Amino acid sequence: MDFSITEEQSAIKDVIARFIENEYDFEKRMKIAESDSAYDKEVYNFFVEQGFTAIPFSEEDGGLNGGPVETMLIMKEIGRGLVLEPFLENIILAGGILKRLANQHQKDEWLNKIINGEMQSTLAFTEPQSRFQLNDVATTANKKEGNFILNGKKSFVLNGSESDLIIVPARTSGSQTDLKGITLFAVKKDSAGIEMNSYKSVDGRSAAEIKLNNVSVSSDSIIGEIDNGYDALEATVDEATLAICAEATGIMKSLHDKTVEYSKNRVQFGIPIGGFQALQHRMVDTLMACEETESILLWAITTEQDDKSALKKAISGLKYQIGTAGKHVGQEAVQLHGGMGISWELDIAHLFKRLSAIEILFGNADFHMKRFIELSNV
């Protein structure tokens, strides 16, 4: 099978790589991480101007008809450069729901603005009790006088405090863990009854806990059909899982390359530490882990998109690999750098923190191994 990329795809990769090398060094990244918003609007506008935010959408929706390969290339470079800007939150999560379920008016009102960088958005799908189960939705939406009244809590909402539009899964029927009965609502951040507690996550990104206290929304805010939002929610989170796995492969390769380079310059007992065979073996092991992960990533992105079961299985297999091999690569990079490997001033520590966050985001290794086994009918 030919895994080579096209000239257009190569151009996407090269443009982002050059931008990160020339305009987004580690010092700038750290200044952005220390800001309240944890992202730079000018940097995000670069993604918009280059058309990257339009890539995953159809031409009918104002996009460029890109697919998993193009998204993978973007996310791998985001991983290499430790980019903080909310491409995942806006384009993959919120945009993923809208492209699957929104009517034309909603796409004109929200999706086009997200693609053009005029609106920040996110998907608030996790709750304090839900762990990794997307169907565990305790937030309720009760109909009253033509509107819906939302009550509940959403946890670890990425880009929550910066979002103008928050897509909220809420239960309109059934019990708390039923697949049917979940409806998706578009809620404006300034709606009455929203309480938001913002904070920085371990990897420097912005997140929030959100309380919905009798938040009233009109029926026009419903995305898709009432009670039938689960399938689109699962498909969107799976797409996001694939995206962060691509990001993780970029991080893993960056950790390996930086560690090899460090071993050539760090002198101990009169020679570079890279000359010690025991350390050479460890670096070969991390390279093999990177290559194996890259192969599983290629398997996942080339799986037939319409074969839902096979696609979910491939994504879970990949996420399990990220959770295990990624941890190994990150820990080895930190240990081979010694004490400075965990220092705030060195990018190794921040690459490892982001990799650790990705390990848990959208389901940890244990969760995805269980799902992989279930999908394999073992």
pLDDT, tens digit (0-9, with 9 covering 90-100), for 352-375: 999 999 999 999 999 999 999 999
Domain endpoint, select from 227, 245, 271: 227
- How confident is the model over 200-259, as pLDDT tens digits? 999 999 999 999 999 999 999 999 999 999 999 999 999 999 999 999 999 999 999 999
Alpha-carbon gap, residue 127 to 355, rounded angstroms: 22
Alpha-carbon gap, residue 15 to 177, rounded angstroms: 44
**Dihedral in degrees, nearest 10, Cα atoms 360, 365, 366, 371:** 110
Domain endpoint, select from 52, 86, 119: 119
Are residue 237 and residue 358 in the same domain, yes or no?
A: yes
Are residue 189 and residue 59 in the same domain, yes or no?
A: no
CA terminus-to-terminus distance, the chain: 28
**Percent of the chain with pLDDT strictly greater than 90:** 85
Is pLDDT above 70 for 326? Answer: yes
Are residue 57 and residue 148 in the same domain, yes or no?
A: no
Are residue 238 and residue 347 in the same domain, yes or no?
A: yes
Instruction: Give how many domains the chain has, as a whole number.
Output: 3
Are residue 252 and residue 352 in the same domain, yes or no?
A: yes
With beta carbons less than 8 A apart as the criterion, state whether 206 and 39 touch. Answer: yes
Using a 10 angstrom Cβ sphere, with 0-12 exposed, 13-18 middle and 19 or more buried, the burial of residue 145 is exposed
Are residue 159 and residue 101 in the same domain, yes or no?
A: no
Are residue 305 and residue 332 in the same domain, yes or no?
A: yes
With beta carbons less than 8 A apart as the criterion, state whether 215 and 147 touch. Answer: no
Question: How does the average pLDDT of the chain come out, rounded?
Answer: 94
Are residue 253 and residue 182 in the same domain, yes or no?
A: no
Alpha-carbon gap, residue 178 to 299, rounded angstroms: 31
In a domain, 23, yes or no: yes
Are residue 58 and residue 112 in the same domain, yes or no?
A: yes
Average the pLDDT over 20-44 and give the result.
93
Is pLDDT above 80 for 266? Answer: no
In a domain, 100, yes or no: yes
Is pLDDT above 90 for 377? Answer: no
> What's residue 2's pLDDT?
57
In a domain, 2, yes or no: no
Is pLDDT above 70 for 150? Answer: yes
In a domain, 131, yes or no: yes
Helix, strand or coil for residue 290?
A: helix
**For the packed helices 230-265 and 308-337, what is the interaxial angle rounded to 10 degrees?**
30
CA geometry: angle 283, 284, 290, nearest 5 deg: 90
Pairing of strands 206-218, 147-158: antiparallel
Alpha-carbon gap, residue 320 to 372, rounded angstroms: 9
Domain that holds residue 317: 231-376
Residue 294: CB atoms within 10 A of its CB come to 17
Residue 195: CB atoms within 10 A of its CB come to 12
Amino acid at 366: D
Domain endpoint, select from 227, 248, 282: 227
Domain of residue 199, CATH code: 2.40.110.10
Are residue 69 and residue 89 in the same domain, yes or no?
A: yes
In a domain, 36, yes or no: yes
> What's residue 147's pLDDT?
96
Q: Rounded to 5, what percent of the chain is helix, strand, coil?
A: 55, 15, 30
Is pLDDT above 70 for 66? Answer: yes
Are residue 268 and residue 356 in the same domain, yes or no?
A: yes
Average the pLDDT over 319-341 and give the result.
92
pTM of this structure? 0.95
- How confident is the model over 41-64, as pLDDT tens digits? 999 999 999 999 999 999 999 999
Are residue 354 and residue 235 in the same domain, yes or no?
A: yes
